[in-house]
Structure 1
Amino acid sequence: MVMVEKAQHLKMKMEHVRFGKEELERRRKSPVHVPAEHVAAQLKEHYHVYIVDPRLGFNQRTFRFWINFRSVGEEMEFSGKQLGHRHTVEAVIYIHQGHGYSVIDGVKYPWEAGDLICVPVFAWHRHHNESSEDLIYFAATTGPFSMATGIALYEEENYPEYWVFAQKGEEAMKTLIPGGAEAPPGGKVELDQTRWKPKGPRSSGVPTAAEIYFDQLNFAQEEEKRRRDSKVVVRAKDLEFSPTPMGRVAYGVDTKLGYHVKVLGTLFAEIPSGKRSGAHRHIYEETNYIISGQGYSIIEDQKCEWKKGDTLVIPVFAWHQHFNTGKETARFLVHTNRPCMESTGYIHTQQGEPADYD
């Protein structure tokens, strides 16, 4: 342990207080609008462009938002004998243009424009473009969260120790737990849980230390099963919009719909021509990609005009409301870290003026 003087402890305490106050200023100064033309200009120089990322000055800490472009016949991420990768990151991919399929833990999932792909944490995956046009897709990934919490892992199958499918076929169902299924014969230990059962009476309802530990082991195994049993693709044709105080909404990736996510959630929102959404604020991050329409948003004291292809970034706990001034229905692709805030107990939402349409 590093020994510090009393004054240093006081300084560290005041830094915590000061951080909270300075965070408000960082949110206020964080960019809220990324024009489509800025992204298009960068795509001419590189096929992969980060749109929203904390490294770009955005005060968004748990997920990033980016666009990828692939030419006809080119795989989305790999070529040759590279079979895919996996990472301790949640990923939700929106297919903007093109059609093809993904192989996720040995299972093939076809998709087309407008669909979402929800890649489970630490699942082996790769993606293929089968269309006769260039493929364009957007992705929200929780890399910043994994990096900040120290759990970031990334593995590619182009290294011999990770040639899982190459050795056992594409249908191999390998573990999501690092080193689990790849352990050599005899490398795993089967534990007889009866050995640690209490030998006498104990306090009612109070688990033993061994029971708590075995719950930990069992949770990891069950968690793997939950990931594999979860849904992966959101079909655009199956989206059902329904009225809410914020307007017409269709939830895409959500725990209540059978998707195994802990940090990232995704929905679509629509605003008819000449109408406005509801107003609210919340303690979770939000990024909106404008799929169609034009209008403006009020974000705290800022008025931000937007159009098709733009991206809006809503600071945490900032009041915001959207207005459609165009002739067509505006549609938003909305990514948030609401599941993370709900599971940690930090969630808080305040509703203001409701939408003026059903």
Structure 2
Amino acid sequence: MGKDGRVFVRGLTSQSYGLGEFRQRQLAVERVRDDSVVVDDAKVAHSGDSEKSRTWWRIGPGDEDFLTQTIQVHFVELPAESSNHGHGHQNEAAFYILEGRGYEIHDDRRYDWAKDDLVFVHTDSVHRHFNPYPEKALALVVKAKCTWMFMGLIQQGRSGPVRDEERFGPREDWSRIWTPGVLDRKKVISPADTVWRDTPLGRVRVMSAPDRTDARIFSIDAFELDIPAGGHSAKYWKMADEVYYVLDGDGYALQWEVEAEIAEKYHARVALEPRRYDVKRGDTLYVPQNHVCQVFAAGGAPLRLFNAQNRVFKHLGYDAVHYFEPASDAVRTGAGVAVG
């Protein structure tokens, strides 16, 4: 949250062409955030909450300790027998249901959801969430909203009648124009729609990816990672930044910074020593751009994580993941499909 209101897009300004000092300030920020961190309580420039529902942010472009605006992370809570107001926006969003069940009215159609589902809000749509049941519903929301904002796609809210209506023609169905076939894709990806697979990263179930053409989202890739007790993920290197949310268990991550040495061409210099980040259930772990990472489960129980990243990196040419060493159970399970 900025001093003068909600920050939708953060600027990047420098007196010199090299941005090394800015990057180092960003990398110095704490990367693990828990329930004590509320960077925005949704009291300013938000339109979705009702008197009962609650929204609060953990990672966003207006954070005073700025991590990223590639991926935004917030939570939506619906107490028993409640709903929010709902609203519309041009950007996509993905709701991972952490607790409870409910449904949403999305462009006048009902879609039911429950724990462990991933629910998509596609571009240019109006959505409102309902919880008619006796238990609380809680969702983790991840989105690449700033990508839309950078491109000037900023029409959002609950506008009601059009201003200066006499200047405009009659209503048209906006949703039929821009993404042919999108309504044939799944709005809700449930566990029954996914399969756990053994990949170089580890054991994962993919909910959203470029090759998953049945999912109604184009900007966020998401998967769950299950690490056995005492085990670890692969040690991997990727250009895209990402956010892990700890669904269950505890453990730690090692992250190695990668420095660019720009000589006759780009060269990579990987830090000799990693930074360690301890995580527990309910924490978010941020992995910055151009880093090497490896995640470890504590010895007592498996570690289950939800991972999200902005798919735009793949469209920009950063679609490869390099694996230095396999996951701890790779020998037992064998290699599979890459995740990135």
Q: TM-score range by the shorter chain?
A: 0.7 to 0.9
Question: Cα distance 1:270–1:151, how it changes in 2: closer, same or farther (>3 A)?
Answer: same
The reply on whether 1:143 has 2:145 as its aligned counterpart is yes
Deviations 1:117-165 (A, max 9, x none): 01111122211112211221110122222223322220326x2349xxx
CA shift for structure 1 position 253: 1.8
Question: Which residue in 2 is equivalent to 1:352?
Answer: 324
Structure whose alpha-carbon radius of gyration is higher: 1
| 1:242-321 to 2 correspondences below 5 Å | 242-257=197-212, 258-300=214-256, 301-321=274-294
Structure 2 CA distance for partners of 1:30 and 1:183, relative to 1, 3 Å: farther
* Aligned-residue offset at 1:317: 1.1
Instruction: Confirm or deny: 8 A CA contact 2:204 2:226 kept in the other structure.
Output: yes
Partner of 1:240: 195
Match of residue 182, structure 2, among 201, 218, 227: 227
- State the number of aligned residues: 283
Task: State the alpha-carbon separation in 1 of the partners of residues 101 and 138 from structure 2.
Answer: 10
Residue 68 of structure 2 aligns with which residue? 60
With 121-130 and 258-267 compared, the bigger mean Cα shift is at 258-267
In 1, are the aligned partners of 2:120 and 2:187 still within 8 Å (CA)? Answer: yes
Matched residues in 2 for 1:260 and 1:73: separation? 28
Tell me which amino acid in the other structure corresponds to 1:34.
R
Distance (whole Å) between structure 1 residues aligned to residue 300 and residue 35 of structure 2: 19
Rounded to whole Å, the distance in 1 between the matches of 2:176 and 2:297 is 48
SS at match of 2:246: strand
8 Å contact from structure 2 (residues 117, 190) kept in 1: yes
Q: Deviations over 1:27-72 (max 9, x none)?
A: 4213310124446xx89xx932211113212331222001122221
Aligned in 2, Cα 1:305/1:58: closer, same or farther, shift over 3 Å? Answer: same
Root mean square deviation, CA, Å: 2.8
**SS of the counterpart of 1:95?**
strand
Q: C-alpha separation between the residues in 2 aligned to 1:265 and 1:71?
A: 28
Question: Could you tell me which of 318, 323, 340 is aligned with 2:312?
Answer: 340
- How far apart are the structure 1 equivalents of 2:108 and 2:66? 36
Q: Deviations over 1:312-345 (max 9, x none)?
A: 01101111111101422211111101x2111222
Matched to 1:72, the amino acid is A
Asked if the contact 2:31/2:67 (under 8 Å) is kept, the reply is no
* Residue aligned with 1:355, SS: coil
Between the aligned partners of 2:199 and 2:179, the Cα distance in structure 1 is 34
Equivalent residue letter for 1:184? P
TM-score (norm 2): 0.75
Report the residue type matching 1:285 in the other structure: D
User: For the residues of structure 1 that align with 2:305 and 2:16, how far apart are their CA atoms?
Assistant: 36
Q: Percent identity?
A: 23
Match of 2:58 in 1: 51
Structure having the higher strand fraction is 2
Q: Does structure 1 residue 327 correspond to structure 2 residue 300?
A: yes
2:71 touches 2:242 (CA, 8 Å); kept in 1?
no
Q: Corresponding residue for 1:32?
A: 31
Q: Quick check: 1:73–1:131 contact (8 Å CA) kept in 2? A: yes
More helix by share: 1
Whole-Å Cα distance in 2 between the matches of residues 37 and 59 of structure 1? 17
Secondary structure at 1:125 match in 2: strand
TM-score under structure 1 length normalisation? 0.72
Cα distance in 2 between the residues matched to 1:336 and 1:352: 21
Structure 2 residue corresponding to 1:184, chosen from 155, 164, 170: 170
CA contact (8 A) 2:194 2:207 kept: yes
Partner Cα separation in structure 1 for residue 132 and residue 223 of structure 2: 26
- SS of the residue corresponding to residue 255 of structure 1 reads coil
With over 3 angstroms needed to count, the CA separation of the structure-2 counterparts of 1:333 and 1:183, relative to structure 1, is farther
C-alpha separation in 1, matches of 2:161 and 2:235: 53
The equivalent of 1:197 in structure 2 is: none
